[in-house]
Amino acid sequence: MDDKRDELRRLAAGFRTNLALRARSGTAGVPAGPVRRPASARPAGSEGTAGPAKVDAAGGLAGLRVVRDELGDCQRCKLAQGRKNLVYGVGNPDAHLVFVGEGPGADEDEQGEPFVGKAGQLLTKMIEAMGYERSDVYICNVVKCRPPGNRNPEPDEIAACEPFLKKQLGAIRPRMIVALGKFAAQCLLRDDTPISRLRGTFRSYEGIPLMPTFHPAYLLRDPSKKKEAWDDLKAVIAALRGPGSPPLRT
């Protein structure tokens, strides 16, 4: 386990150095600093026409605000009755990379922020091992309110909430999505294949490459699966960095 952590730290350090060098030489596929993508850098005419959902003309922060306003004090499904906080999403509104989980747990419900409990701490480490800060990426869930007793969200709850996830992704228009765990992957891909078989291969969500991988909560229960999850994240890093970039150390 400690060896694994050391390896992750080494990989992250190597990745950061590599990005810094490539940024200095002007060849970086992914910016070395916070991965922000100003509206002016998006392809002309892409506003409101590309991506999974059209948030009028607004993308990024403005688009996310439109979607948040539309959610309001959401009462569209029965999860509203038990929630303390609606957990919308957190991070960079112009992120290249979005992580989608299942739904808030107790800690997230308490704090109104996704992935802040034990699984969230592991997710943060995974993000950092990829060479990002948590604030560089965007993190959200399929459902925005905590299912009681952390049960799986039910079909009517997903049906009520998923359109808002779609609109969030439409506002951000990331270059890549990572679906965390069976629930998010199966839901976004409309595919019942077990996560152990979905993971590791890029799929497409409304034209955006999507990598299914294990949920951090599952990795906490079965740390032997961390290597496979890390392989998936390395594939994501490599894809974001683009062709011709030197291979990551393994």
Taking the least distance from each CB to ligand URA, the nearer of 104 and 170 is 104
User: Rounded to the nearest whole angstrom, what is the least distance from the CB of residue 20 to ligand URA in the complex?
Assistant: 31
Strands 203-205 and 208-213: antiparallel
- C-beta of 28 vs 139, nearer to ligand URA: 139
**Residues 192-231 contacting ligand URA, CB under 6 A:** 217
Instruction: Extract the tokens encoding 164.
Output: 């808002």
Site map 62..101 versus ligand URA, x via CB under 6 A: ---------------------------------------x
Instruction: Give Rg (Cα) of the chain.
Output: 18
- Nearest-CB residue for ligand URA: 101
Choice from 29, 60, 89, 103 touching ligand URA (CB under 6 A)? 103
Nearer to ligand URA, 172 or 217 (CB): 217
Cα 34 to Cα 150, 201, 205, 243, distances in angstroms = 33, 26, 24, 21
With CB under 6 A as the contact rule, which of the stretches 12-20, 26-34, 111-119, 169-177 interacts with ligand URA? 111-119
Q: Do 11 and 227 form a contact (C-beta atoms < 8 A)?
A: no
Judged by CB under 6 A, does residue 104 bind ligand URA?
yes
Residue with tokens 């200095």: 24
Q: Which one among 86, 97, 119, 160 touches ligand URA, defined by CB under 6 A? A: 119
Gap between the Cα atoms of 189 and 8, Å rounded:
29
Considering only 69-77, 107-115, 162-170, 222-230, which stretch makes contact with ligand URA by CB under 6 A? 107-115
Q: Which stretch binds ligand URA (CB under 6 A): 28-36, 39-47, 115-123, 229-237?
A: 115-123
Using the rule CB under 6 A, which residue among 18, 22, 95, 108 binds ligand URA?
108
Instruction: List residues binding ligand URA (CB under 6 A).
Output: 101-105, 108, 114-115, 119-120, 141, 217
